[in-house]
Structure 1
Amino acid sequence: MAVTLRIDEINYPFPAKPKALSADREAFLKAEIKKLLKAQNAVLVAHYYTDPEIQALAEETNGCISDSLEMARFGRDADEQTLIVAGVKFMGETAKILSPEKRVLMPTLDATCSLDLGCPADKFTEFCDAHPDHTVVVYANTSAAVKARADWVVTSSIALEIVEHLDSLGEKIIWAPDRHLGNYIQKETGADMLMWQGECIVHDEFSSQALRDMKHLHPDAAILVHPESPASVVEMADAVGSTTQLITASQNLPHKKFIVATDRGIFYKMQQLAPNKTFLEAPTGGNGATCKSCAHCPWMAMNGLEAIYSALTGNHSEHEIHVDDALRVDAMKPLNRMLDFAAELKLKVKGNA
């Protein structure tokens, strides 16, 4: 049974788009950032949804391009003592939770996430307290305070397996915050899930009708969909999965053309790993002034070269992530449950191979 809770409509504080850089300025910033990373024993960790030049810079400096959890794990295991996290704020918090002894800087602390904003810790805690017989499962796209209230933290790559496990134990589940991902998991597992009603503004805007029209124009294209998208879009997919899973699908599927329903930042890695294939943005329901995200997170776009340079040269206190130690300890518990579960699952799969 799926039960839902809807919070009040949120007016998201969309940031201004960064100004385009001249070729000379871009070259200067890249060269200086490379020097500063070495001088400050720092490493650049970037999400798949950041702009191509940021992902390229992470590669060129032996950093990391990945999903949010792997970003934190890479930072934890890196020798460098300063992490520059190019992503959104919850990613910086997760990195700090896993690496409390390291300094975690972000290009801007104003880069947030609609899923995080749509799940305030105080309201979520009240909701959980009203349902004490439920196991609390939260998506990684949440604040440290929300993670600290959870029993489990999950990513989109392992959420199905964990919910399936909990359901096999007969547990009732509170799921937060993404309603589309929650509905997808509930449909796949049949689990008893009480759902918080948040959404990613990028994935929420993909339109099944527009996608049908695009598929008609490109009948030979496979459709790749992130499960944060509406159910009507997910139903049209040839492959559904996390960012990493979609990148793998783009390599392994025999198709030469793909319509991709996730943030277009992912195209950098897809094109790099499958250079002979063509990738098209899935259409959104709006366009121009009616489109909130137009298939690219406005907060991810804040992680420009100027902002990274500022994090390395400016007042570090304006860029540094802090997580209260008691809160960090509480948030680490559900994160560790997921990491342990993932490790056991990996061993099981390896044993069955």
Structure 2
Amino acid sequence: MNSVYDQLLVREHLSRATPSANLSELEETALREQVKQLLVDHNAVLIAHYYTSPVIQALAEETGGFIGDSLEMARFGARHPAQTLVVAGVRFMGETAKILSPEKRVLMPTLEATCSLDIGCDADEFSQFCDEHPEHTVVVYANTSAAVKARADWVVTSSIALQVVSSLHEQGKKILWAPDKHLGDYICRETGAEMLLWDGACIVHEEFKAKGILDLKKVHPTAAVLVHPESPASVVDVADVTGSTSQLLKAAGELPNDTLIVATDRGIFYKMQQENPNKIFLEAPTAGQGASCRSCAHCPWMGMNSLERMASSLKEGSDEIHIAPELIQNALIPLQKMLDFPKD
């Protein structure tokens, strides 16, 4: 992998990740009502990721939709009787929903919303990488394109990655892991598995710094630290709890601490605060100050999801996910392994 090239590629995509214009209260209310009616008119359901804006998460709740991580979003879409799924998140989430529900129409507020992990793992380059290491079992993170998933033996989310790799390690398998090197390193350290890591990273989680968290702990000495394992090892090492979005949400409710420092996308604060109204949640410091950081604890592509774009997609049928049937069949094989893997 050429990390300099990857950084330039991400920057090029970021240049197009323009946030939506700020709306007045009246404009926002009108758009919310419009989207609610459009969902009814098109037999559609809104499925939102934890990292989208509070406005979109609240709308999903109000309309009988769903808020969750990428896997649970796709599962909900497959179970729900609606014939149109509106996926508010980033593109790989819409693709996963389409793979699991190929008979349904899957719309997104914008197909431009992508992920640094996805664009940093080109399918052709990744396939060549796999061909060069045929003795390895290929395990890819859900944050990848349908084409990369189709090349894999397993697809995992952060909630089951440890268990899957541990199981493969016990079988004597060597692992080729992609694309997040920090999550891969965390899994390698936890399981002891022999792992070959692709050189990718999430622009949000890579910016958290251990020193900043420790400095914040000095101000809030009783605070617990919650960290997503896409963060660098130094950040994981200062965590009280390391886990996926759903695991961090659970920990936020179970920990006795009344103050929590959270090292993941700040979009998760909507559900954390909703479920724990008497607790204080603090953003873990990022690498930069103000505009000097690329993400400042919020994915710019998640920020592209908006009420305006959602209304436009429903009215016009635009930003629909299309995947070739053969690719769906191939990508479904490792995805189905993930769905069938027993939970703890």
Distance between the aligned counterparts of 1:122 and 1:55, measured in 2? 35
Segments of structure 2 that go 5 or more residues without pairing to the other structure are none
Which residue of structure 1 aligns with residue 330 of structure 2?
Answer: 330
Distance between the aligned counterparts of 2:291 and 2:106, measured in 1? 36
Which residue of structure 2 aligns with residue 312 of structure 1?
Answer: 314
Which residue of structure 2 aligns with residue 291 of structure 1?
Answer: 293
Distance between the aligned counterparts of 2:322 and 2:164, measured in 1? 29
> Structure 1 length normalisation: TM-score?
0.94
> Structure 2 length normalisation: TM-score?
0.97
Q: What pairs with 1:30-41 in structure 2 (closer than 5 Å)?
A: 30-41=32-43
Distance between the aligned counterparts of 1:216 and 1:175, measured in 2? 36
What's the offset of the Cα at 1:133? 0.6
Question: Residue type of the partner of 2:255?
Answer: L
The equivalent position to 2:225 in structure 1, one of 218, 223, 226, is: 223
Which residue of structure 2 aligns with residue 170 of structure 1?
Answer: 172
Secondary structure (helix, strand or coil) at the match of 1:147 reads helix
Distance between the aligned counterparts of 1:308 and 1:40, measured in 2? 13
Which residue of structure 2 aligns with residue 198 of structure 1?
Answer: 200
Structure 1 position 137 matched with structure 2 position 135:
no
The equivalent position to 1:9 in structure 2, one of 6, 9, 13, is: 6
What's the offset of the Cα at 1:274? 0.6
CA offset digits 1:79-104 (Å, max 9, x no partner): 10000000000000000000000000
Distance between the aligned counterparts of 1:181 and 1:43, measured in 2? 32
Write out the 4+ residue segments of structure 1 that deviate beyond 3 Å after TM superposition. 5-9
Which residue of structure 2 aligns with residue 21 of structure 1?
Answer: 23
Distance between the aligned counterparts of 1:198 and 1:78, measured in 2? 34
Which residue of structure 1 aligns with residue 321 of structure 2?
Answer: 321
Distance between the aligned counterparts of 2:208 and 2:215, measured in 1? 13
What's the offset of the Cα at 1:6? 5.3
The equivalent position to 1:236 in structure 2, one of 229, 235, 238, is: 238
Question: Residue type of the partner of 2:156?
Answer: V
CA offset digits 1:242-277 (Å, max 9, x no partner): 000000000000000000000000000000111110
What's the offset of the Cα at 1:17? 1.9
Q: What pairs with 1:1-353 in structure 2 (closer than 5 Å)?
A: 7=3, 8-11=5-8, 12=10, 13-14=13-14, 15-314=17-316, 316=317, 318-341=318-341, 345-346=342-343, 349=344
Is the 8 Å Cα contact of residues 6 and 196 (structure 1) preserved in structure 2? Answer: no
Distance between the aligned counterparts of 1:238 and 1:211, measured in 2? 12
Question: Residue type of the partner of 2:303?
Answer: A
Distance between the aligned counterparts of 2:45 and 2:106, measured in 1? 10
Distance between the aligned counterparts of 2:195 and 2:235, measured in 1? 21
Secondary structure (helix, strand or coil) at the match of 1:28 reads helix
What's the offset of the Cα at 1:186? 0.1
What's the offset of the Cα at 1:289? 3.0
CA offset digits 1:111-154 (Å, max 9, x no partner): 00000011000100000001111000000000000000000000
Secondary structure (helix, strand or coil) at the match of 2:239 reads coil
Secondary structure (helix, strand or coil) at the match of 2:86 reads strand
- Alignment RMSD, CA only? 0.9
Secondary structure (helix, strand or coil) at the match of 1:24 reads helix
Distance between the aligned counterparts of 1:65 and 1:210, measured in 2? 30
Secondary structure (helix, strand or coil) at the match of 2:176 reads strand
Secondary structure (helix, strand or coil) at the match of 1:43 reads strand
Distance between the aligned counterparts of 1:167 and 1:248, measured in 2? 27
What's the offset of the Cα at 1:64? 0.3
| Structure 1 stretch displaced more, 288-297 or 139-148 | 288-297
Distance between the aligned counterparts of 1:10 and 1:324, measured in 2? 29
What's the offset of the Cα at 1:10? 2.6
Distance between the aligned counterparts of 1:273 and 1:121, measured in 2? 39
Secondary structure (helix, strand or coil) at the match of 1:37 reads helix
Distance between the aligned counterparts of 1:306 and 1:206, measured in 2? 31
Distance between the aligned counterparts of 2:123 and 2:217, measured in 1? 40
Q: What count of residue pairs does the alignment treat as equivalent?
A: 338
Quick one: percent identity of the two aligned structures? 63
Distance between the aligned counterparts of 1:226 and 1:174, measured in 2? 21
What's the offset of the Cα at 1:210? 1.0
CA offset digits 1:175-223 (Å, max 9, x no partner): 0000000000000000000000100000000011111111111101100
Question: Residue type of the partner of 1:74?
Answer: F
